[in-house]
Amino acid sequence: LAKTTQPISMDSYEGQEVNITCSHNNIATNDYITWYQQFPSQGPRFIIQGYKTKVTNEVASLFIPADRKSSTLSLPRVSLSDTAVYYCLVGDEARDDKIIFGKGTRLHILP
């Protein structure tokens, strides 16, 4: 049974901010939230990980509300090259010895 629910696909335009929300109603106390990105014909790439509130790095921001039942990956001012599949993973879906990928969100950036 999947631990997360995220939209199958999203479209946006260059220069826009894109927010991808992931639901994880049954997140456990010790679970971290991890996001990976996969460009066409490439391997997945770690983007960001967080536990609560807000985390920001050079690629994205991750917003986690107090109840932690959802999280939002925010990509500022996207470009065509941000077209990719984005995977939200919770707890042991991204654990030490294996990652269990879902179908992710296919983000398509339009000119």
Partner 1 sequence: EPEVTQTPSHQVTQMGQEVILRCVPISNHLYFYWYRQILGQKVEFLVSFYNNEISEKSEIFDDQFSVERPDGSNFTLKIRSTKLEDSAMYFCASSDTSNQPQHFGDGTRLSIL
**Where along the sequence are the contacts to partner 1 (CB under 8 A)?**
34, 38, 41-46, 49, 94, 96-103
Q: Interior CA angle at 75 toward 96 and 7, to 5°?
A: 70
Q: CA 111 to CA 100: how far, in whole Å? A: 33
Q: How far is the CB of 16 from partner 1 (least distance, A)?
A: 27
Q: How far is the CB of 104 from partner 1 (least distance, A)?
A: 8
Q: Which is nearer to partner 1, 67 or 96 (CB)?
A: 96
Is residue 93 helix, strand or coil? helix
Q: How far is the CB of 95 from partner 1 (least distance, A)?
A: 9
Q: Which is nearer to partner 1, 41 or 111 (CB)?
A: 41
Q: CA 73 to CA 7: how far, in whole Å? A: 12
